[in-house]
Amino acid sequence: MPASSPSKKPVTPRRSLRAVKSDPVPPGERRLRFGEQWQYAPAPEAHDHLVIAPRHELFINGRSVPPTSGRYFASINPATEEKLTEIAHGDATDVDLAVQAARRAYEGEWGRLSGRERGKYLYRIARIIQEKARELAILETMDGGKPIKESRDVDLPLAAAHFFYHAGWADKLQYAFPGRTPQPLGVAGQIIPWNFPLLMAAWKLAPALACGNTVVLKPAETTSLTALRLAQIFQEAGLPPGVVNLVTGPGDTGAALVRHPGVDKIAFTGSTAVGKGIARALAGTGKRLTLELGGKAANIIFEDAPLDQAIEGIIAGIYFNQGHVCCAGSRLLVQESIYSTVLRKLRDRLQTLRVGNPLDKNTDVGAINSRPQLDKIRGLVQSGLDEGAELVQSSCPLPAKGFWYPPSFLTGVTASHRVAQEEIFGPVLSVMTFRTPEEAVERANNTPFGLSAGVWTDKGSKSFKLVNQLRAGVVWANTYNKFDPASPFGGYKESGFGREGGIQGLAAYVRLT
């Protein structure tokens, strides 16, 4: 205390000081109002310059080729249910052609290239992605339903960043694993999900190519368009034919790729059920496998957390990409002492989320990717209600056409509720409480999954302690859903094995001798 304080006698504020202010709002009515007074006019991203071909073929050996079966399936915009195009249904024969093309490229031109030359291709691809970022972002949003804000600011910059990052590794691989010599595996079969179509393609392709492999990639059935546009970018970049092949189609196309004897490695990102099937199919075949599967991440909020930022972390954790995120913070664990405060803040914040046309630049939450996914979300929420949970939902209006689910959270959830155990993969958060750090860890780890977790506290020591106790591949401290190509990503337990990104991600695409 400074000794020089002239007046130590506190001046007591008089009651009358408050009289000049309007009367306080009674406790029950202290809600913030987010109404119609200043509505944001529609601000849609123009997309008339974007031409989507009425039909998309397979991409094999550097060329567009029709599927041998002659069959196509429709791809729709989930926000409008309008048909965007039709896409080739690849079958086992097409997969075989693709694998043969990849094998020829591996044993031919691509296999003979030096790391530096492979790096040049990757740099070129990264730059073209940046140049076409706007077009790709619009396409991603129309095809998958995610808000343009996210495809523009997250998916596209990260997709380019993955190619840039791995381009840098291509000529430095021999230094990545000290004392050991990395060799490419051969032909990699890659199966990617519908939640981040282009970004997942970049995650999988960039390290595989940097390490000298060739690839057969199968995009998700509902979201093939940006991967197919990426194929055009490969052509533009002059990537040798057969280095990357795309076979589009539903689950059986992927199954054909998994079963193909000419594939040296399978990398799969998707549901745990399918992942288990792939693991069974590959057992004893000698093929390498990495799996990035589901999650039910705990987002842990301690009473000493920066609370207003933690609320943002909760929102980003569960409503980012409509909750279609394998590492979504879908289980909120709040310390009991701040439960009501957090709930009040969350309730008010929920009202400010703007749901609607994904192409509108002000949209925060877009469309659910498909009707089956919407049905799954509805079913799980209903089970939560049947088991006694209470539902809090945004009162935002939803468009009449398309697949929509309002941002929601469930309170009164206990560890034995289905909504606390199963992955909902939608904008629905299950809120639970804990009392001590030990209990938080115990509850966070009490799940078959182990992909990610979040910890919110102002105490660094507490974060570091928890990071080591949580069985999760990624733990975010005072932030959530942050990604970087240099940082490995992957899970424990039923969330899969193997890592993507960083040196650890390279290891999944090389044989070390």
Binding site for other proteins (CB under 8 A): 1-2, 5-7, 9-14, 17-18, 20-22, 24-27, 29-30, 32-35, 37-43, 149, 153, 304-309, 312-313, 344, 348, 352, 361-362, 458, 478-479
Burial class (CB in 10 A: 0-12, 13-18, 19+), 489: buried
**Which is nearer to other proteins, 32 or 74 (by Cβ)?**
32
Burial class (CB in 10 A: 0-12, 13-18, 19+), 64: middle
Distance in angstroms (rounded) separating the CA atoms of residues 139 and 148: 9
326 is catalytic: yes
Distance in angstroms (rounded) separating the CA atoms of residues 170 and 156: 22
Write out the DSSP string of 396-424: ----SSS-----EEEES--TTSHHHHS--
- Which residues lie across from 500 on neighbouring strands? 489
Other residues' Cβ atoms within 10 Å of the Cβ of residue 5: 7
**Which is nearer to other proteins, 280 or 482 (by Cβ)?**
482
**Which is nearer to other proteins, 171 or 312 (by Cβ)?**
312
Minimum CB separation from other proteins for residue 458, in Å?
4
Pick the catalytic residue: 211, 326, 327, 396? Answer: 326
Distance in angstroms (rounded) separating the CA atoms of residues 431 and 394: 16
Sign of CA dihedral 275, 277, 278, 284: positive
Minimum CB separation from other proteins for residue 37, in Å?
4
Distance in angstroms (rounded) separating the CA atoms of residues 492 and 295: 10
**Which is nearer to other proteins, 85 or 341 (by Cβ)?**
341
**Which is nearer to other proteins, 386 or 458 (by Cβ)?**
458
Q: Tell me the C-alpha to C-alpha distance, in Å, between residue 268 and each of 204, 219, 495.
A: 9, 11, 11
Spacing of C-alpha 385 from chain mean position: 27
Minimum CB separation from other proteins for residue 44, in Å?
9
Pick the catalytic residue: 45, 292, 422, 494? Answer: 292
Q: What angle do helix axes 115-131 and 133-144 make, rounded to 10 degrees?
A: 70
Minimum CB separation from other proteins for residue 54, in Å?
31
Minimum CB separation from other proteins for residue 316, in Å?
9
Minimum CB separation from other proteins for residue 26, in Å?
6
Interstrand relation of 408-411 and 63-65 (parallel, antiparallel or unpaired): unpaired
**Which is nearer to other proteins, 278 or 338 (by Cβ)?**
338
Catalytic residues: 292, 326
